Structure 1
Amino acid sequence: MSESVNKKALAEIVAQRLDITKKHANEIIDVVFAEISEVLVDGGKVDISGFGRFSVKTRNERTGYNPVTKEAINVPASKSPAFRPAKALKDAVK
């Protein structure tokens, strides 16, 4: 397998392994990603046993500095998606 796999290549792999069409495999992948996204947007977590956990990480408000003027600026709190790999995945990658 190559070092980088995009969605199209992933759909081809799924289609081949499950003996389904690429179109059907692509639909499955779309549904999985849409569901993960929906849970995260709602503030939840997605645990996939042996793979990892998708969650939302909250970053607190902080004071930053403009690198040109050195002026202090307020950086508002924000949320971003995060992924924490399971031990099994970490061990497999080693």
Structure 2
Amino acid sequence: MNKSELIDAIAADAGVTKAAAKLALESFLGNVSKTLKKGGRVSLVGFGSWSVSKRAARDGRNPQTGKTIKIAAKNVVKFKAGADLDGAVN
């Protein structure tokens, strides 16, 4: 499912226009991004939670040349599925 298909599904399920569903989805995504950028955590009970973790700098290897390269430290987003989502998938 891509973004436009998700907007269509939200609009149909909620009985709202596609424009309203698009605004709601963009608001949700924007607020999750802002919270994570500040280092916060977003939890939706039963669905899952997003958090930010720091990945340390490390040495890597270029597979074509075999040379060692430096990989910079960075923040990464992690998602942990909740019990309800995990149960629905399994």
Identity %: 32
Match runs of 1:64-83 below 5 Å: 64-83=60-79
- Aligned mates of 1:22, 1:67 — CA distance in 2: 46
- Aligned mates of 1:32, 1:13 — CA distance in 2: 15
Q: CA deviation at 1:46?
A: 0.3
Is structure 2 residue 82 aligned with structure 1 residue 86?
A: yes
> What secondary structure does 1:79 align onto?
strand
Q: CA deviation at 1:42?
A: 0.9
Q: Which runs of 5+ in 2 are unaligned?
A: none
Equivalent residue in structure 2 for 1:57, among 33, 36, 53: 53
Q: TM-score, normalised by structure 2?
A: 0.89
- Aligned mates of 1:69, 1:7 — CA distance in 2: 39
Summarize the Cα distance change of 1:74–1:25 in structure 2 as closer, same or farther, 3 Å threshold: same
Is structure 2 residue 32 aligned with structure 1 residue 36?
A: yes
Q: Any runs of at least 4 consecutive aligned residues in structure 1 with deviations exceeding 6 A, and if so which? A: none
Q: Deviations for 1:39-87, whole angstroms, at most 9, x for unmatched residues?
A: 1111111001110011112111111123344332221211121211012
Q: Once superposed, what is the RMSD of the aligned Cα atoms? A: 1.3
Q: CA deviation at 1:28?
A: 0.3
Q: Which runs of 5+ in 1 are unaligned?
A: none
Q: TM-score, normalised by structure 1?
A: 0.86
- Aligned mates of 2:20, 2:74 — CA distance in 1: 36
- Aligned mates of 1:69, 1:9 — CA distance in 2: 42
- Aligned mates of 2:14, 2:65 — CA distance in 1: 58
